[in-house]
Structure 1
């Protein structure tokens, strides 16, 4: 099983005990510790030793940097030490970097910031002001530049334990959203496909809008409304008043003649056995001057354009005869 590989970067002799304590902690967490003194870095013969360190840093998952009061070995890359170049390499490769600075060194760093121009000042806890310059360089980075002070290895362990627990919790939270993200991506792909399909049909059928109109009519909200009123489950399509009337007539609804002078069409289905009149009213604005169904989208649909109503039939009053039975 793959394990997170964590590179420990620091000067060696002055911080070797802290390096050993961190190595133990990292292994207890089930991760892989990478240290040059334990042979974790494969050195070759074609380049300087430090280059192989930088190459290893570029393939690890995290880097824990410990900055003490010793500058360490000079790097072949400018005024930096090898340790500083390891940190820079990790940052340049987008690795997660945790920087820990000795509390006394960081306190003295504040003094340095106030006395940069004074080259005669001597510092007690550092052997090279390049350490202060490097800390300042890290602090000016726009991201991935958190610096934490420490006095003992336990300070570093406690901080890392909290940080890694937080990363794991965030991972679990993001995992629960994978299904939602996949669903959203699926909807985006579907919408894109439909958009391309509409564009294709429009281009292919340019000058012949009947195909597009037929597609829109097949999903007309008026048809869905009529199916709901009548409790119809099968597919129904009507494109004009005549076809609608034919369909309703087959289901026992008769159009009222007087509606010609109104703004609605009215169909009535009189059920004597149930003593009820079933009425459907359809607004004429749904149709054009030739009686053809207008194209209406779901967004612009007004449910009041089609209404249904049930009216109880009145019982006839019995007639009273004046004739006496004798």
Structure 2
């Protein structure tokens, strides 16, 4: 039977007792553990042991990080990092759940360092919890790296190993609960998808019946009428999407209806900006690449340029296709769509 594998990362000599205790705790849960000093890591003959340890994180589903008063051996590739730093970064990049524990006396000294880090005398402070004072800043910066991460950044100060067990027991119970809850939601989604599939099939049958009626009643004008129905359906999706994003069915000014019907702009986002409730807001990526977002009452509708994901590009293409359908509609159909989403009693200032 497959079991979760737990990678235990820390300096070895000063935290040997905690590492051994964590192994016993994990084994009691039926989990496997990976400790470098126990031979749980495969040391490939063509790789440095540091690289082997880092690669082993990819074979694990849980990462336990324990930070004490030692910096540990420097990473063979990046001397500014310890092997523990490198293991943590590898786990972070792989999205493995990380549970971090910091000895309480180290955490207390970190608080002192943090309050004085910009003071000229900070290097003269002696931190009792740190084994080698020249490594104090490296250890404290590592703590900051963990706690300031945008996610997966929980940490817990401990004095006794028992406190680690209590924390892990609660956290793993929470993970199990989330799994059970997600399983229930997946069943609900499956039922919903089946219902939607049935509705889609029924809709297709109704569509075929409507086409048959049109062709029997008006053979000459049937194709044009059916084409208009199809275009109205696509354009209606565009308006429904924007209404959902803005949480407001009425998001257009009635005073702009005639212009939107008779002289619509070429781009879907400019079309909505024309009504006054929307605006284009400029910004820059981290690498200074420019982007724009369509904003409605301070709610972002869509990112329009810059670095886009495949999903964002696909959505923008879809929105443009729905707007193209709107442009192909006769003016009467356009006006009908707009009036369904307009504040008919007010005028744009």
Q: TM-score range by the shorter chain?
A: 0.5 to 0.7
Structure 2's unaligned 5+ residue stretches are 223-349
- 1:84 pairs with 2:85: yes
In structure 2, do the counterparts of structure 1 residues 164 and 206 end up closer, same or farther at CA, with 3 Å as the change threshold?
same
In 2: Cα distance, 1:201 partner to 1:193 partner? 13
Q: Tell me, which stretches of 5 or more residues in structure 1 are unaligned?
A: 214-326
Determine helix, strand or coil for the equivalent of 1:143.
Answer: coil
Shift of 1:178: 3.6
Corresponding residue number in structure 2 for 1:161: 169
Aligned to 1:208: 215
- CA–CA separation in structure 2 for the residues paired with 1:49 and 1:180: 47
CA deviation after TM superposition for structure 1 residue 98, in Å: 0.1
* Equivalent in the alignment of 1:71: 71
The count of aligned residue pairs is 211
Normalising by structure 2, we get a TM-score of: 0.56
Is 1:121 aligned with 2:129? no
If asked which structure has higher relative contact order (CA below 8 Å, sep 6+), I would say 2
Q: Which residue of 2 aligns with 1:94?
A: 95
CA distance in 2, matches of 1:185, 1:82: 47
2:129 and 2:109 mapped to 1: Cα distance? 7
Q: Closer, same or farther in 2 for the Cα pair 1:72/1:190, shift >3 Å?
A: same
In 1, the alpha carbon distance for the partners of 2:208 and 2:80 equals 62
> Compared with structure 1, are the counterparts of its residues 151 and 198 closer, same or farther at alpha carbon in structure 2 (3 Å cutoff)?
same
What does 1:7-22 correspond to in 2, within 5 Å? 7-22=7-22
The structure carrying a bigger helix percent of its residues is: 2
Give 3-state SS (helix, strand or coil) of 1:138's partner.
Answer: helix
Match of 1:108 in 2: 109
What corresponds to 1:174 in structure 2? 182
Give the Cα–Cα distance (whole angstroms) in 1 for the partners of residues 154 and 95 of structure 2. Answer: 14
Cα distance, 1:165 vs structure 2: 1.7
The two structures, once aligned, show a CA RMSD in angstroms of 2.5
Q: Which residue of 1 aligns with 2:193?
A: 185
Q: Name the structure 1 match of 2:35.
A: 35
Residue 54 and residue 195 in structure 1: after superposition, are their counterparts in 2 closer, same or farther (change >3 A)?
Answer: farther
- The equivalent residue for 2:44 is 44
